[in-house]
């Protein structure tokens, strides 16, 4: 790693190629006084402000050797995730990756000051079924397994010379490829295929989900909140719900999304996107050739996550006022967020 010749902050973004991590890297590298190191399994090309390292955090010995380079690290922003088939199977790999990242960086970097952890509403049991809403950071826990809670427990027990923060976004929307949890991509590709086939845009979720009350978290807003929580003294050793600040129902948002794609909207029709999209790769290939799209079908497919979100036939909302009380006041209009992300997908030739 390059020598730190000043008192600048050095951020290590773990999971730098995901929707959250990529946006964090972009935001941090735009700020004065910050240098950025991105960690991911794939790695990436470096820039003047960003160094990338390829690391497998499930390999403790190899990650320790790689992370020993990070002698100047001052902040860890942890946004890595390993998917598994069941909730219980998620705990071991995701906790081990966090432990290996913190162990390796802490041993190398005597100036480490803060560890920022990305969580989600699973802390409140949102993935299990109807839960108490609006959820608040002070709400009681629920029966394990839940890796987000186990990760926070580790940070609370381990902190001392450094502080921690835990950010709890709703569904995070932004630009990212090959990500298993990318709702904006689900909608954009589903709408593009519907248009190609000449069918209306039908909401595919469970009965009741069309009218449930929801909120989203813009990836850029989350990046701003993460830097705030990592540097504001008042935010040390705290958890914060981070959401856009407005609420919506798909029954109102869905027709507006249809208008953006130039599609009529027909009544909802419950269906599994994982199943109905299983045979669409050849169609996507033809669309890609005709429209000069840049990414393959597997890179833009997040169908199981779409099925999960569109299956929420109950309110999924959390109280974001704690962050405001502690000093973070930014917000994002969710309708505008979707349009901006779709514009970005089109500009980057992700969709026609």
Distance CA 40, CA 57 (A): 9
Count of positions (residues) in the chain: 352
Q: Report pTM.
A: 0.96
Q: What pLDDT, on the 0 to 100 scale, is given for residue 43?
A: 86
Phi, psi torsion values for 4, nearest 5 degrees: -90, 105
State the pLDDT at residue 77: 98
Residue burial 128-167, b: 16+ Cβ < 10 Å; e: rest: eeebebbbebebeeeeeebbbbbbbebbeebeeebbbbbb
DSSP one-letter string for 321-345? HHHHHHT------HHHHHHHHHHHH
Pair 103, 140: CB distance under 8 Å? no
**Would you state the pLDDT for residue 176?**
79
Please give the C-alpha separations between residue 343 and each of 210, 288, 349, in angstroms, as whole numbers.
24, 17, 10
Q: What are phi and psi of 217, to 5 degrees?
A: -130, 115
| Digit-coded pLDDT (tens) for 174-194 | 987 777 789 999 999 999 999
CATH number of this structure's domain 173-215+247-318+329-347: 3.40.50.720
CA distance 218 to 240: 15
Q: Which residues of the chain are in CATH 3.40.50.720 domains?
A: 9-170+218-242, 173-215+247-318+329-347
Of 24, 11, 93, which is closest to residue 242 (Cα–Cα)? 24
Query: What's the pLDDT at 180?
Result: 73
DSSP states of 41-80:
SS-----SSEEEEE--TTSHHHHHHHHTT-TT--EEEE--
**Confidence at residue 5, expressed as pLDDT on a 0 to 100 scale:** 45
CATH 3.90.180.10 corresponds to the domain 9-170+218-242 = no
Q: Say what the pLDDT of residue 178 is.
A: 72
In this prediction, residue 6 carries a pLDDT of 52
* Rounded Cα distance, 195 and 111, in Å: 53
Distances (CA, A) of 82 to 56, 58, 118, 294: 11, 10, 13, 26
Q: pLDDT at position 121, please?
A: 98
**CB neighbour burial string for 35-54, b if at least 16 within 10 angstroms, e if fewer:** bbbbbbeeebeeeeebbbbe
d(C-alpha 312, C-alpha 130), whole Å = 8
Round to whole Å and give the CA distance between 97 and 117: 12
- Residues of the chain below pLDDT 50: 1-5
**Secondary structure class of 167 (helix, strand, coil):** strand
Cβ within 8 Å of residue 199, ≥6 positions away: none
Each residue's pLDDT tens digit, 152-179:
999 999 999 999 999 999 999 998 777 7
Alpha carbon distance 274, 299 (integer Å): 15
């Amino acid at each position: 790693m390059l020598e730190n010749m000043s008192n600048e902050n050095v951020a290590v973004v773990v999971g730098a190629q995901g929707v959250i991590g990529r946006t964090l890297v972009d935001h941090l590298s735009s700020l004065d006084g910050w240098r950025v190191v991105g960690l991911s399994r794939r790695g990436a090309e470096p820039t003047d402000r960003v160094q990338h390292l390829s690391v497998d955090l499930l390999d403790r010995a190899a990650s320790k050797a790689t992370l020993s380079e990070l002698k100047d690290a001052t902040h860890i922003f942890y946004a890595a995730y390993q998917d598994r088939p069941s909730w219980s199977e998620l705990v071991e790999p995701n906790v081990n990756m966090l432990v290996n990242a913190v162990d390796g960086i802490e041993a190398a970097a005597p100036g480490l000051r803060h560890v920022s952890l990305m969580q989600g509403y699973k802390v409140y049991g949102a993935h299990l079924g109807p839960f108490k809403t609006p959820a608040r950071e002070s709400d009681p826990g629920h029966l394990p397994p839940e890796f987000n809670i186990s990760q926070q427990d580790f940070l609370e027990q381990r902190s001392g010379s450094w502080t921690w923060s835990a950010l709890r976004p709703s569904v995070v929307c932004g630009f990212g490829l090959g990500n298993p949890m990318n709702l904006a991509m689900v909608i954009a590709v589903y709408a593009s295929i519907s248009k190609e086939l000449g069918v209306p845009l039908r909401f595919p979720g469970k009965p009741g989900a069309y009218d449930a009350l929801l909120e989203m978290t813009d990836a850029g807003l989350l990046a701003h909140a993460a830097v705030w929580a990592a540097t504001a003294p008042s935010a040390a050793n705290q958890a914060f719900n981070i959401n856009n600040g407005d609420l919506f129902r798909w029954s109102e948002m869905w027709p507006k999304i249809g208008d953006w794609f130039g599609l009529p909207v027909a009544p909802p029709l419950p269906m599994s996107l994982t199943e109905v999209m299983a045979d669409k790769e050849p169609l996507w290939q033809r669309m890609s050739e005709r429209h000069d799209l840049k990414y393959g079908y597997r890179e833009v497919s997040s169908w199981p996550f779409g099925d999960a979100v569109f299956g929420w036939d109950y309110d999924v909302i959390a109280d974001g006022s704690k962050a405001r009380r502690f000093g973070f006041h930014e917000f994002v209009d969710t309708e505008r967020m979707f349009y901006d992300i779709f514009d970005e997908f089109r500009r980057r030739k992700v969709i026609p």
